[in-house]
Amino acid sequence: MKSITYKYTYRWMEGKDLKHFDKNVLRFVKNPKNITYVVEDENNFVGIVVYNLKKKKINIINIGYENDEIFCLIINEISSKFEDKDIVMEVCQYDLGAHLLLKKMGFKAVSIEKEEGNDFYVFIKKGNHQ
């Protein structure tokens, strides 16, 4: 049996991509303070990340991915581009899979944010800043 390998493309989101996202994602994507990248394999969307770039950190505002491999690809791409910045991400208390994956990737839960009916764990991966 022949194995299939995919080449992923990680690129800036373009206006033509907006049709692929629902209202919840679009409200983050359309904010001019946010940066949006998409991940494709053979012209199919397999991931998206929306983040806000600060002086010493990157706040991941929204992330969507097809599988754990894509999630790791997105985080590794951001980590390599911004080695000197901390990466911060809030994850719903019920998303244990994401909690475990973030821990495996070197993130640490540092606090809990409470919102109407849900708690969100704040995870951080320290950058190589001086």
- At 82-108, the pLDDT tens digits run 999 999 999 999 999 999 999 999 999
* Mean pLDDT value of segment 10-30: 86
Please say if the pLDDT value at position 7 is more than 90: no
pLDDT at position 35: 93
CATH of 8-125, one of 1.10.230.10, 3.40.630.30, 3.40.50.300, 1.10.3720.10: 3.40.630.30
CB 121 within 8 A of CB 93: yes
pLDDT at position 6: 58
Q: What average pLDDT does the structure give for the chain?
A: 88
- Please tell me which residue, 110 or 42, carries the higher pLDDT value: 110
Structural tokens at position 4:
């299939």
| Amino acid symbol at 97 | G
pLDDT at position 104: 93
Beta-bridge partner residues of 39: 10, 47
- Please tell me which residue, 36 or 24, carries the higher pLDDT value: 36
> d(Cα 84, Cα 130) in Å, to the nearest integer?
8
Task: State the residue for tokens 């629902």.
Answer: 22
pLDDT at position 45: 87
